[in-house]
Amino acid sequence: MKKNLWLLLLLVFCAASSPERYLSPGQIALDKKQRIVYTALTTDKAVAVTSLKDGKTVARIELEQNPSFVLLSPDAATLFVSSGVSRGVVDIFALPEKKLKASIPVGHTPQAMALTPDGKTLYVANRFSNTISVVSLDKGSVIATIPAVREPRSLCLTLDGKILVVANFLPAQAATETVIASQVTLFDVPANTIRATLTLPTGSQSAQGIAISPDGRFVYITHLISQYSLPATQLERGWMNTNALSIIEPAKNEIYATVLLDDVDNGAANPDGLCYGGDGKLYIALAGTHQLLALDMVPMHQEIEALFSGSKKFAYIKDKEGLSTSLSFTAPFKKRIPLLGRVPHAVEWLPDAAANGGRAIVSSRFSTFLEIPASAAIGTLAPVSDTIALGTESAPSSVRRGELAFADATICYQQWQSCVSCHPDGRADGFNWDQQNDGLGNPKNTKSLLFSHVTPPCMITGIRESAELAVRKGIIHILQSTQPDTLASDMDEYLKAMRPLESPALAEREAKDPGGKKGRALFMRAACAKCHIGEFYTDMRKHNVGTGIGDDTKTLFDTPTLREIWRTPPYLYDGRAVTLRDVLTEHNKDDKHGITSKLTKEELDTLILYISTL
């Protein structure tokens, strides 16, 4: 009896002490001929290999780091996998042997990839290096690095391979500019020179999904449009955030149109991955609402052409700008399909003669399976999905449940937004929002939530005494719903578990200032450490450091943590400073925000580099 009791206790101890393991299915690559799906398991350091013929996952390709993206060569003989964070690589596997042929270092947090039609050059979007790596597959190395605007997360090549289209995730402008929006960059290939930089509609951010039309004329990009100029007092009719699809015409170097994916009283929160189906529909993963949206493209394009040519009149829509604000224009062309998985991310098209030409296949971050919804024909009844298991994972912890709740727009009134909408990855969207917590008419820049629970008070002016209170007030006033406190507690645990990423400037600092010794000395000399002290570089107090303008001249502002500050421009309470150099020079009147006016250019460079690596 005692022996059995000790065995039971041992099993309980082992279960309790074993590390949590989650699959987090991400990007998928489809071998349509062999009907094999390769799925990036983004938190499990592996790629799942799933046979659609057998209806099961048959193998795993183990990796040294967590993967972000998978891409198949046209002949399906080679699999490219981007993985890692500060030490990003592209692993190249020979198929079907799944043998590693090469591992090529690229930039910080490599994500989307695109292969030229001749199969000789690979383009890799390095999110936090803000670059595109150009990889020669013949040489097995990076032959060029192209600067991007800010956080390139998705890209694609036009069908002729002549133009590379890069979507930059977040705005790069100061938050006080007239136009603040993510940008799309078009590069000439193979010269790798910029041919055009296109600014999406004002308020655009979180640009991530990308797909090309079958004829190659259009590139489609999903993103949000944040109505940051309006006070955050309501949600109806997309008052705070709408969810959009922009249509780029690369050959003409222009944005052809932007349409909204939402309904009048039902948001399509957080659109993510998408693909063009063989049935003429564009399939879009609605991450926040856990749905797949089917958009009938031929009739929609016909209506857009009719609008632009003037051959047809539309109520309340006069031009391109009116189209990008209409919540009703896409209504006749779309259908939402409920999914079993939570937070869908990637969509691919699976040709199938027996299923009206094919079906979409979807991966969702909070699932353990691939999902194949039934027919997406507009007007049909809600379908039932087929699923294929990718593996097993731990029961969701409080942190995992909190991560899901943070991305879940179904807990928001009318599903317009999730917490991710303003705090992508728990960080900041780059906009100034006018919230009610400190009165109206005084917009403040969105803060990163990293370390918010251990550096109270919260909000720019410290109006919330703790992050726990801020989370609960955010659910009430921003999501405009009532939720059980257990959900808010799970969000707390998720936010407390977030950790800073290694700075992309660390290698440069180590080359110029090993150990940051000179930078640290300048940090002390400039009196930065007077307020930015301790593990989190904040005294957790409020100060007037001369940065207030107008009615905020005498306002006391909370001392923010400097940890991971490289990731969250623009800076200051109103986001007027695009760079840290702007903070320490142009917006540092009378040296009240650090004694920097007498630093030499070399000293200032060293100080900025040091702060950029905290």
Q: How far apart are CA 308 and CA 299, in angstroms?
A: 14
Mean pLDDT of all residues in the chain? 93
Q: How far apart are CA 495 and CA 264, in angstroms?
A: 32
**Worst-scoring range by mean pLDDT, 6-10, 385-389, 433-437, 583-587?**
6-10
User: Closest Cα partner for 268 from 431, 426, 414?
Assistant: 414
Burial 45-76 (b: 16+ CB within 10 A, else e): ebbbbbbbeeeebeebbebeebbbbbbbbeeb
- Sheet harboring 110-115: ordered strands across? 110-115, 121-126, 131-136, 141-147
Instruction: Return phi, psi of residue 529, to 5°.
Output: -75, -5
Mean pLDDT of all residues in 491-513: 97
pLDDT class of 15 with cuts at 50, 70, 90: very low
DSSP 109: S
Q: Are 248 and 160 in contact (CB under 8 A)?
A: no
Rounded-to-10 torsion of CA 43, 40, 79, 349: -170
SS3 category, 527: coil
Q: Are 566 and 509 in contact (CB under 8 A)?
A: no
SS3 category, 321: helix
Q: Using one digit for the tens of pLDDT, what is the confidence trace for 53-77?
A: 999 999 999 999 999 999 999 999 9
Architecture of domain 399-497: Orthogonal Bundle (1.10)
Structure tokens given for 104: 């090529």
Q: Are 207 and 222 in contact (CB under 8 A)?
A: yes
500: left (phi over 0), alpha (psi -120 to 50) or beta: beta
Q: Using one digit for the tens of pLDDT, what is the confidence trace for 184-212?
A: 999 999 999 999 999 999 999 999 999 99
Q: Are 477 and 461 in contact (CB under 8 A)?
A: no
User: Closest Cα partner for 586 from 607, 602, 568, 572?
Assistant: 572
Mean pLDDT of all residues in 6-25: 58
Q: Using one digit for the tens of pLDDT, what is the confidence trace for 269-307?
A: 999 999 999 999 999 999 999 999 999 999 999 999 999
Angle at 508 between CA 455 and CA 150, to 5 degrees: 65
Mean pLDDT of all residues in 545-572: 95
pTM above 0.85, yes or no: yes
Q: How far apart are CA 356 and CA 349, in angstroms?
A: 12
Q: How far apart are CA 241 and CA 418, in angstroms?
A: 10
Query: H or E segment at 195?
Result: strand 193-199
Residue with tokens 């540092």: 588
Dump strand ranges (E) for 219-341. 219-226, 241-249, 254-260, 271-276, 281-286, 291-296, 334-338
Which ranges in the chain are annotated with CATH 1.10.760.10? 399-497, 506-611
Alpha carbon distances (Å) from 597 to 58, 279, 485, 585, 591: 63, 63, 49, 7, 7
SS3 category, 247: strand
**pLDDT over threshold 60, residue 171:** yes
Mean pLDDT of all residues in 394-419: 98
How confident is the model at residue 230, as a pLDDT? 96
Burial 345-375 (b: 16+ CB within 10 A, else e): bbbbbbeeeeeeebbbbbbbbbbbbbbbbee
How confident is the model at residue 439, as a pLDDT? 85
**pLDDT over threshold 80, residue 384:** no
DSSP string of 198-227, one letter each residue: EEPSTTEE----EEE-TTSS-EEEEEEEE-
Q: Is the peptide bond prior to 351 cis by the omega test (within 30 degrees of 0)?
A: no
Q: Using one digit for the tens of pLDDT, what is the confidence trace for 225-235?
A: 999 999 999 99
List, in sequence order, every residue forming a beta bridge with 388; answer none if it has no partner: 370
Return the percent helix, strand and coil in the chain, to nearest 5: 25, 35, 45
**pLDDT over threshold 90, residue 352:** no
CATH 1.10.760.10 at 506-611, yes or no: yes
CB burial of residue 550 (10 Å; 0-12, 13-18, 19+) = exposed
Q: How far apart are CA 226 and CA 89, in angstroms?
A: 33
Alpha carbon distances (Å) from 116 to 121, 134, 144: 6, 11, 15
